[in-house]
Structures are given as structure tokens and as C-alpha cells.
Structure 1
Amino acid sequence: MSATALVVTHTLIQRDPRVRREVEWLSAEGWVVDTVGLGSENLPEVRTHFPFAPQSQWTRPLPTKAALHLLLPPAARFRVLTASRLPRELSRALKADSYDLVLVNDIALLPVIQDLPETSQSVHIDLHEYHAPDMNLSLRGARLANPVHRWSRAFIGDPRVRSRSTVASGIAEMYRDEFEIEQPVLIRNAPPFEQLTPSAVDDERIELVYHGAAAWERGLRIVIEAMELLPERFRLNLILVGSEQRLADVTKATAELGSRVRIFPPVTVPEIATRINEYDLEVMFYPPATANLRFALPNKLFEAVQARLGIVVGESPMMAQLAREHQNGLVIEGWSATDLANGLSALEAADVRRLKQGSDSAARTLNAAHEREVFLAVVAAFQHH
């Protein structure tokens, strides 16, 4: 009889590459997969999808929501605002310990495991990034939501959890030390292998690219400021997603650089490597303001490797380690625009070609096939529990 898995997320799985890969990997290995997530659309690999029902009308007004957060203890809050939106048949299946594997992808949804018998050992948590004990108070409603966040987060150490994974070893060590648990397994956000080769490098023009979220906190402003200091032979290509306001802010910030900065519309995730293959260096310069930024090992790094680009990073330990190991990246010392500009200015076209060749070699190991083997080794322990 086939092993059964429930994959739990608070995202649209079709648009979540990491969760979608989990579903595809399980299905390809013969698991029967059910999912919990947003939206009613069912993936072809999935037997049953349990969608979140819309929030009850009476809980939607902000004053009501604030009252619920103020008056109800965390467990009751979760029941009213989250658990009530899921079908009862799902709760019954969990109480019966019907699944060999319950794979939870969101801290906020971890309390669903309390429906499992206390003796169950069927839970794997994919923690993704580091979730601090307190939410960022700059987020609207964070102060009210913090008690339920802390309560949900405590389930990371629940005895029903057999194993855990995360995207970077530095993050895994933080969880290990805080919860006194076995160190979470490293499953990186690497895309599938792409049959590409490094594009030619123009001796007179080095093409930089920054793709992804238009987020100032991820060093985008510093990259733009560095362009003001760089020689004319450098050009920056921005392929950005973000709100209209943020994109307008970026357009304004780059206006004086004229044709030395080009802004392009985004492409779908499977198209990224092919789209950016024409460029030379992907810049990922994340000042370590938070634990997640300090230990960042972002999707875009692996996408840049598959695109056969050299990578330019700061002293972010996870990214710098890969850049040095695969000899495919420039590691900048210091976090200022001047530091970044000075490091880039020293590069000749021959250096760029060498970095791109490093990524060409690295692409054979830094891809989803490697992460798939790690993932399948983890979930094999759950078969027929």
C-alpha cells in the first residue's frame, strides 16, 4: 500500500516553487499526496486538496479582529481564525493519525499538528527561513499577533515532530541551539538543472543583473548607489517584482543614471535562468540587518548559477562559502556602495569569464536534483509509520 502525505502551506502551491517541488518529489516516489493551501485549484499530482474557506464575515472587521486578539488566548484564537476555515474531515484524518507524513511549511499553521495523537511521529517541518520569537513590530498588528506567533512557533520543538529542514546551515544551527533539537536538514532552494552555457563577455561592457523583489532591505539601493561610482563599462539590468509604488521609487532612484540602468518586467520562475543568461554577474548584496539576511541563501543565487552567471556577494557567510567553494563569485569586504564599487571596478573581462565558468561547473551540483535526494532521504523515514 502506498504511503500517504499531507503537505500543509498557507500559499498558492502553484506559485510556491519550494512547496510545489515537495509535492512533485513525493508523488514521483509513489506517495499519495493531499494538500492544504490557499485557492481551490488542485495540482495534477494531488489526491485531495483542502482549501482554506474564506474568513467568516463576523471576524473580518478590524475592531472584531483586535478584540479577538486581545480577549482570546492563543489556542482559541487559532481555532477561531484559522482551524475553523479548514474542513472537519481534515481534523478527523489527523486525529486518526491517517497520514504517514504531515509536512508543514508555515509556522502559523504548525498548531494543526495538535490534532494528531501525542504518540504520533508523522510530522516534518520545513522551516524555510528563520522565524524570530517576536514578529517585527513595524508590521501592522504585530504587537497583537505576537502571543499567537510565539505559541505557534513553540510547536517547532513538539515531540510529534520527527525531523525538520531549512534553507541554510546557519539558520539550522540557530534552531538547533534554541530548541535543543537535532539540527534541521539543509534543503536549499535550487531550481532544476538547465542546459545552458555561459554567454560571451564583451571586453568593453560588463552586464550586471539584479532580479527578484524590489526590496531596499536586500541591498538594492546600495547596488544603485554603487552604479554612480562605477566606470561606464558597467551596466545594471533590473528585473523586478513589487508594488507599483516600489517600482516607481526604483525608477526615480535610477533616473540620473540614464541608459546605464535598464528596468525590465519579470518573467515566470521556470524562465528566469534562460532570461538572465545573456548577462555576466548577478549582484546579491544583503547587509546583515536580520538573521535571515545574514544567513541568506536565496533562490536567485541558484538561478544565477543555472544561468551561468558569476555572482557578486557581500560577506554573507552562506553565499560567500559557495562563491569560494565553486570559485564562481566575487566576495566584497564591507557593506557600503563604495566597497561594492571598488570590488567590481577591479574586475577585468577575463575575471568575469572565469567566474562564469565556475558557475558552469557548479550548475551540475547546485540544482534541484541534489536537493531532491536529500528530501527523499528525510521522508523515507516516515514510510508506513
Structure 2
Amino acid sequence: MTRILCISLSPINRDARVLRQIEVLREYGEVTTVGYGEAPPGVAEHIRVPDDRPSLPQTPLGVARLALRRFRAVEIAAPGVAYAHERLRGRDFDLVVANDARVLGLAFALAGGAPVWADMHEWAPEERTHVLSWRLLVAPFMVHLCRTYLPRAAVVTTVGGEIAELYFRRFGVLPAVMRNAAPYSTLDPVPVQPGRVRLVHSGGAVFGRSLETMIDAVRALDDRFTLDLYLVPAADGGRYLAQLKERAGGDPRIVFHDPVPPADLPATLNAYDVGVFWIPPVHTNARLTLPNKLFDFVQARLAVAIGPTIEMQRVVTEYDLGVVSDDFSVDACVRSLSMLTPERIMAYKANAHAAALELSFERERALARDLLAELVTRRSETQ
């Protein structure tokens, strides 16, 4: 039995990309996972990292080493990383999957010569450059990890073509593109209700995504428009989510719901009309994002309203899925939504229905299977 280690220092049961990844990994062997929260479905073993053990070296000693650029000394020194290393060192695996740059050092420390699949969920050097401490201390560490380990990885993947080109230009490694596409859902478009346009958004309540734009836009629109939000509180203890609720000002047209599991999202969102997401290009990852939620909207058979974000706009334009605002201002978002008529919404929903299979996880699943088959074969030939 092929032994596969999948490392993701995230709450895996809320991480749709990693859950889909594990689903494919299980076809090729026995999977051990490392991450926060409960064990994901179907794995042989789960090493649960305590929630109070962060994934970055933010202890006083760790921060000092980051400041002094002693990156080798902190590769496996972050509390969460060190916990996982202690629990797993000495174990043998045939394949190690590293989700995000911060665990690359850990993955290679545990691989013992086994191939490593590095899945870069975004452009790691600028993951949180809107935060000063990240920009000064952590970004250079991410560059070190990518420069050191990506050329040694057997396979590198990332979420979109633009970010793949960045990795090639900066580190000389061209990742394969595996989009954050959701599994195919057998749903049909729901008719628009007379006199109503039901907007919806799902995702993390993360500061910097400008989710307040949605709230401000709806409050500026006429009473036809409603907004339902399915938001996961961020690691800030829910402060930003609380700010969003305060900003809504008790408007009855804006409703906050508890988040739903990734697998349940399309069926939940299917009841609405338009999936909305305007994220200003405050950093590289925002400028180039091609997020889960766009594909969730497609599987839910919704029309889409977005800003002029490069990768998202390409998909929305190619498949004629909805409207793209001129810029990321509230006025521009209001103008784009005001163009929506019931007939246009239903046409966009029909286009989403037609594109649902092509824009589903089936393409990414086939790519992952090809990569894994090669890695597993290569490993068996060297043993």
C-alpha cells in the first residue's frame, strides 16, 4: 500500500482545495493528514495540530531569527510545524504533499527521499503583504522556502496561469495549473422571482477582501436587491465579521448566515440569482485571484457579478456568465448590478448551466491523477 502524507496547516475540513486533493490521493494509497481541526473524511490517520500552535515562527526567538534572516533555523521551528515534525519524524512515506510554502521545509524534512508534490495555493511571497509585519519579516522567509525547495519538488502546482508564470519568472519552476474548481453538481437554474434580485456571497470574512463593498452597494440599490452572506470567521476572532454586521446597519435586505460545508455550497447557493465578489487589487494575490467561490457560483447555476480581476474576468467573459464592473468602487458595482434584468440573469444562469461540467473539478481531477500515477510509478521503480 502506497503511504501518502498530506500536510496542510489549515482547518482542512473547511479547505475545499485540500479536501478535493485528499479525495484523489485516496485513490492511490493510504493517506495520513496533518492540519488543524478534525480529521477529514476517509483518511487513515490525522495528526491534529493544536489550534494554539501557529504555522509561522512568531515566537520571540522565531521573530528574532526572521529579522536576522536566519531562515534555515526557522524552517521547522514554527510551533505548528515543530509539533507535526515531532509527531512524524522517523516515519516512512512514499509521497509527501505540501500545501503552501510555509510547510515546504517540513515536507522535505519528513520525505526521506520520497517525492514531494508542492501545491502552491497562491503567490506565496505576497500572501499577506498588506500587513506590515508580514511584508518585513515573513515575505523574505517565503521567498527563501520557494527558492530552496520548489526546484527540488517532483511536482509543483498552483491555482492559475498568471501565478504560475510568476513562479517561473522568480524561481525557474513552471507549475501545472490546477484551478479551484468545485465538483460537478447536478443542479438546474432556479427562476428569478418577480421583483427580486437575490445576491449571494460565500467565503472567509477576511480583512482586505473589501466585503464591505457588497454591503454598501446593496444599500445603494433599490429594494429589489437582497444580499445573503455565508461567511466563515477569520483568524481575527471574528472581528472583521462583526464590523461587517455593524456596517449592514440592521438592513433587513442583508442577511448573515452560518457557513456551510464546501460540499453543500452549490445546493445552498442554488436558491439565489447572482453570486457577487469584488476584490480590489491590493496585492498580487488579489489582483490575480481565481477563487473557489467563482466555481461554486457556476456549480450553483448562478449569474455572476465581479470586478475587473484578471483571471476571473477571463472566465466570466469567455463563458458569458455575468457582469464585470468598470472598477472596484461602490458606484461601479452598483452600475453593473443595475444592468441586470430578469431576462439577462436567466441567460447568464443558462450559460453557467452549459459550462458547469467544463468548469468543474473533473478537469483538475484528471490532471491530479496523471501527476500521481507518474509519482507513484517513479517511487516504486526506485525502491
TM band (smaller chain): 0.7 to 0.9
CA spacing shift, 1:14–1:177, aligned 2, 3 Å: same
How far apart are the structure 1 equivalents of 2:289 and 2:185?
Answer: 23
> What is the SS of the residue equivalent to 2:359?
coil
Corresponding residue SS for 2:90: helix
Residue of structure 1 equivalent to 2:90 = 92
SS at match of 1:381: helix
Q: Which moved more, 1:281-290 or 1:204-213?
A: 204-213
Are 1:245 and 2:247 counterparts?
A: no
What is the match of residue 209 of structure 1? Answer: 200
The sequence identity of aligned pairs, in percent, is: 29
> Scaled by the length of structure 2, what TM-score is found?
0.85
Does 1:285 find its partner at 2:278? yes
Q: How does 1:104-115 map to 2 (within 5 A)?
A: 104-115=98-109
In the TM superposition, residue 171 of structure 1 has moved relative to its aligned partner by 0.9
Q: Is 1:186 matched up with 2:182?
A: no
Q: CA 1:216/1:345 → structure 2, altered by over 3 Å: closer, same or farther?
A: farther
Q: CA deviation at 1:320?
A: 1.0
Cα distance, 1:247–1:4 mapped onto 2, change above 3 Å: closer
Secondary structure of the 2:375 match is coil
SS across alignment from 2:125? coil
Instruction: Describe the SS at the equivalent of 1:10.
Output: strand
For residues 134 and 348 of structure 1, do their structure 2 counterparts lie closer, same or farther at Cα, with a shift above 3 Å needed? closer
- Which of these residues, 159, 163, 171, is aligned with residue 167 of structure 1? 159
Alpha-carbon spacing, 1:320–1:177, altered in 2? closer, same or farther (3 Å): same
SS for the counterpart of 2:279 is: coil
Q: Distance in 1 between matches of 2:266 and 2:114?
A: 39
In structure 2, list runs of 5 or more residues that go unmatched. Answer: 379-383
Any stretches of 5+ residues in structure 1 without a counterpart?
A: none
Structure 1 residue corresponding to 2:115, chosen from 107, 117, 122: 122
Give me the whole-angstrom Cα distance separating, in 2, the residues matched to 1:141 and 1:236. Answer: 33
Q: CA deviation at 1:272?
A: 1.5
After superposition, the Cα gap between the structure-2 partners of 1:323 and 1:91, relative to the gap in structure 1 and judged at 3 Å, is same
**CA distance in structure 2 between the aligned counterparts of 1:180 and 1:373, rounded to whole angstroms:** 25
Counterpart position of 1:4: 3
Q: Following the alignment from structure 1 to structure 2, what is the Cα–Cα distance between the partners of residues 175 and 71?
A: 25
Q: In angstroms, what is the RMSD of aligned CA positions? A: 3.0
In 1, the alpha carbon distance for the partners of 2:365 and 2:300 equals: 20
Question: What is the count of residue pairs matched by the alignment?
Answer: 371
- SS state of the match for residue 132, structure 1? helix
Bigger CA drift: 213-222 or 345-354? 213-222
Q: Check 1:134–1:265 CA distance in 2 against 1; reply closer, same or farther (3 A cut).
A: closer
TM-score normalised over the length of structure 1: 0.85
Deviations 1:69-91 (A, max 9, x none): 56793222334445642456843
Question: For 1:1-385, what aligned pairs fall within 5 Å after superposition?
Answer: 2-28=1-27, 30-38=28-36, 42-43=39-40, 45-52=42-49, 63=60, 66=63, 73-81=70-78, 84-86=82-84, 90-93=88-91, 99-115=93-109, 120=113, 122-132=115-125, 136=129, 138=131, 143-145=136-138, 148-158=141-151, 160-181=152-173, 183-242=174-233, 243-255=237-249, 258-385=251-378
CA distance change for structure 1 residues 354 and 156 in 2, over 3 Å: closer, same or farther? farther
